[in-house]
Amino acid sequence: MLVNGKPGNLISIRDRGLLYGDGVFRTLRATQGKAQHWLLHYQKLRHDCTALGIACPDVGLLSAELNDLLARHPNGVVKLIVTRGEGMRGYAPPDCAETTHLWDISPLPDYPADWAIHGIKARLCQLRLSQQPRLAGIKHLNRLENVLAAAEWNDAQLPDSGIAEGLLLDIDGNAIEGTRSNLFLVSQGELITPDLSRSGVAGVQRDRVITWSTQHNMPLQIRDVGLDEVLHADELFVVNSIIGLWPVRELEQRRWIGFPVAMQIRQAWAEEPAS
């Protein structure tokens, strides 16, 4: 673990990341000493920092630190956090804050291989996401909605329900995302993914599916999607940087068997040169 470039696992209690969630983060998958799609993640990080007025650390600096980290821990879930740093008391961002940046690495999760092939069981979360255009799309540190949503079924005191992800709607009933993933529908030969201009986090793997659709001339719409449309889709799948792509085989009363488009994307990704 690295805090501002130095080995360590502690941060000041006056850091605005703790006080206000005033920061952004990325979660990357590292295998064999390589962090997948690092530059795409860096672009998102810089975009998100800019949106909040946080000075993003230089890509050269972060890349060097990441390489150091991976030399010692070649495989794992890499987390990068950038906060606005410390400042005077109060919500207003300080003028000359030195941002804090830190790295952490955890073991890769051991998901059943079957989930990627035959799909996951998903649930519909009761929590409805709020709408905040100023924060939508950004992977910021204000994640209590995700915590409350995941708490709905991720209770180790309950018998294992086999549920792998929860679908989140916003307060208007639009399907937005999974608790930790982006959502895609396939309907009548088209890909559809929710508009994230009011809620949700726009992840790197979502961009990669959008890129794939362009390269393969598959029409893709980014727009509002209701639950009814989700349940009537020909295919449904979720993506993030740790799980990759999981088809959904079960949501509410609906069951799906066979995921030709999802499998085509998985196949294309598997054949991509590492980047």
Residues that bind a copy of itself (CB under 8 A): 1, 3, 9-22, 25, 52-53, 77, 79, 81, 83-84, 89-95, 102, 104, 106, 109, 127, 129-132, 134-135, 140-151, 154-157, 171, 179-180
Find, among 142, 148, 147, 200, the residue nearest to 19 by Cα: 142
- Distance CA(165)–CA(56), nearest Å, equals 31
Find, among 148, 174, 184, 263, the residue nearest to 226 by Cα: 174
Between 15 and 235, CB nearer to a copy of itself: 15
Between 151 and 268, CB nearer to a copy of itself: 151
Q: How many other C-beta atoms can be found within 10 angstroms of the C-beta atom of residue 33?
A: 13
Q: How near is the Cβ of 274 to a copy of itself at its closest, in Å?
A: 23
Q: Which residues pair with 84 in a beta bridge?
A: none
Q: How many other C-beta atoms can be found within 10 angstroms of the C-beta atom of residue 219?
A: 11
Q: How near is the Cβ of 8 to a copy of itself at its closest, in Å?
A: 8
Between 111 and 234, CB nearer to a copy of itself: 111
Tokens of 9: 């696992």
Between 150 and 169, CB nearer to a copy of itself: 150
User: Residue 150, SS3?
Assistant: helix
Q: How near is the Cβ of 166 to a copy of itself at its closest, in Å?
A: 10
Q: How near is the Cβ of 160 to a copy of itself at its closest, in Å?
A: 13
Q: How near is the Cβ of 77 to a copy of itself at its closest, in Å?
A: 6
Q: Are the CB atoms for 74 and 31 separated by under 8 Å?
A: yes
